[in-house]
Each structure stands twice: as C-alpha cells, then as structure tokens.
Amino acid sequence: MRIAVTGASGFVGGAIATALADRGDEVVGFGRTPRRWTHPRGRYRVWDITAGQMVSDQDFDAVVHAAALVDPGASREESMRVNQFGTRNVVRSFVGSRVVHLSSTAVYDLMVPSVDLPESTPPARRFLSGYSASKLAAERELAGADAVLLRPHLIYGPGSPLIGVLSRGARAARGARLPLPGGGRVRHRLTSIGNVVHAVERALRPETPRGTYNIGDATPVELGGVATELLSRRGLDVRVVDVDVDAAARAVGTLEFAARAARRRPLITRHTVKLIGLERTFDLSAARDRLGFHPTPTTLDGADDW
C-alpha cells in the first residue's frame, strides 16, 4: 500500500510510519519540522496541516492522520486551528483515500468517570479543555468519509511525552512523594504504542468496516502502580500521595483561570486532574469484533531505556 502519515515528526506518527515502512508499505511521512522522520524505505515531506491543503503528492491508498495538538493547556482557538481545521485540510487533500484518524477518549465527558464505555456513549457536551472540544470537532470533519476513527487513552512507550511528564513531576515532588488525584488507585485502560500500531494496521485493511473504535491495552490497571514502577526503573523512587480529585480540580481551576487572564499557558489543568483522577476504562468489544484487534496487556518491558 502507498500510505501517507501525518504527524510523522511526533511520537505517535513516527512510530506508526516506521512500523508501516518496516512491513513493506510505501510510506510518506508528513510533519512540520524538517528532517525529523527517516527510514530507508520511506520519504519525509514538510507540510503544516494548518497552512492549507496539500497541493501535490496526493495519490495514496490511505492516510493515517496522527498530527494533532495534544495540549489541554492550549487555548480553544489554537486547539481548533490544529485539530479541527487541520483535519479538514487532511480530508480535502486526500480525497478518495481511506483515512485512519487518531482521535482520543477525551471526547467523552471528563467530568464523570468512564466505566467500560462503549462507542455508543454520547460525546461530551461540556469540555474542560479546548483539546477535548477540538478532538470531537475533528471527528465530525470525517463524517461521510471512508474513515476509521481510533480512540486511545494515555498512549505510552519509548519517547512518549507522558513519560517525560511523570519524570518531571517526580523530580519536582518534595520528599520523594508524587501527588496523584485519587491516589492513583483508579483503573485506567492505558494504550501502548504497540497496540496503537496494531489497531492502525487492522484499520488500514480495505475490508475493515469504517466507524469509531475504542482501543487500548488488554486489561485495565491502577495508574499509581504503573507510574511508580515506571519511575523506579528510571531511578526515581517515589511514593504516591492521595489528593482529593474535586479539591484538586477546584484549586487547579483557580490557577488555570489566573494564568489565562494573564495570557499565560497554565502548567496544569482541570482536564488533567479529572482525566487521571477518575476511572477511565473503555469497552473494546467493537475493536475486537470488527477490527480484529487483539491487544497485549499493559507492560513496562524495556522501560529502563524509555
């Protein structure tokens, strides 16, 4: 297959582009930054999806759309510009190609726990961040297209920004304590980058039914246990400290409002507090039955080198 991958200069897009090229597909990776993704059997082109449509090199069997602004601290306008209007430019640039779109479980209502949610659950009508609102708007840009939408939660793996966030938080924690809403005891269905690649490969098959699919690791885990083990492997021994979710959200909300009033990007948001502090588990039945998605369990094998 001839496949375009947007966001190839980033963690998720780069991993997908490499995996597809490794299996023998003709891959062209697109990204904003010059010389970021390389592969002996792939090509890389600079394209900012917010700048308008791609005007050349449009003949692809499929496009994997992984480019996104994943930042709950960004303004709604900035998030919409990248995630909604950037997606619109992708759809218009590759007419006739199957689109595999990397969405997010953040399109569900983050104000309440997500407990084994199926894709039929109505999306949020209230948003804690421009990121959530823009990812839902991006999904709607794909209405009527030959598209497979994948909704992962907290993607991890080598080079994941999530690893960096946890490490910085641990280094900043006083007395080797890592405060986590809910004490990190709530269940989360994390998503390894390997399972993301597996889902994309299944979605690219022409016979795969278009539609929206939750994806994730085989079984949910407690976030605190995973975080402490991961940090320990990186030489950072911490003890999780329980923080009340609602109290943390109120305190962070005050700081977030002050930061935005001062035209600064908030360091932490209510989106993040609610995202990690409440249960986030999702039903994978549709992906298993219709995609043929067979995820592996959450694993930290090799995490010492992440």
pLDDT at 237: 81
| pLDDT at residue 48 greater than cutoff 70 | yes
List the one residue out of 262, 289, 256 whose CA is nearest residue 274: 256
Domain membership flag for residue 46 = yes
Looking at the whole model, is its pTM more than 0.85? yes
pLDDT tens-digit readout, 110-127: 999 999 999 999 999 999
Domain membership flag for residue 50 = yes
Distances from the Cα of 155 to the Cα of 37, 152, 158, 240, 258, angstroms:
19, 7, 10, 21, 30
Residue 5 is classified by DSSP as E
| pLDDT at residue 92 greater than cutoff 70 | yes
pLDDT tens-digit readout, 236-279: 888 888 999 999 999 999 999 999 999 898 988 999 999 999 99
Percent residues over pLDDT 70 in the chain: 97
Domain membership flag for residue 71 = yes
pLDDT at 170: 65
Please give the Cα distance from 67 to 145 (Å, whole number): 18
| pLDDT at residue 72 greater than cutoff 60 | yes
Domain membership flag for residue 267 = yes
Distances from the Cα of 4 to the Cα of 64, 193, 214, 215, 223, angstroms:
6, 19, 22, 21, 34
Please give the Cα distance from 181 to 275 (Å, whole number): 9
pLDDT at 259: 92
Domain membership flag for residue 302 = no
pLDDT at 169: 63
Domain membership flag for residue 61 = yes
Question: Are 4 and 28 within 8 A, CB to CB?
Answer: yes
Domain membership flag for residue 20 = yes
Bridge partners (DSSP) listed for residue 27: 3, 42
Structural domain span for residue 219? 2-297
Question: Are 98 and 111 within 8 A, CB to CB?
Answer: no
Per DSSP, the residues of 178-219 read: EEEEGGG-SEE--EEHHHHHHHHHHHTSTTSPPEEEE---SS
- Number of structural domains in the chain: 1
Domain membership flag for residue 136 = yes
Indicate which CATH number applies to the domain containing 136.
Answer: 3.40.50.720
Question: Are 264 and 190 within 8 A, CB to CB?
Answer: no
| pLDDT at residue 174 greater than cutoff 60 | no
Dihedral (Cα; 300, 302, 305, 306), 10-degree rounding: -40
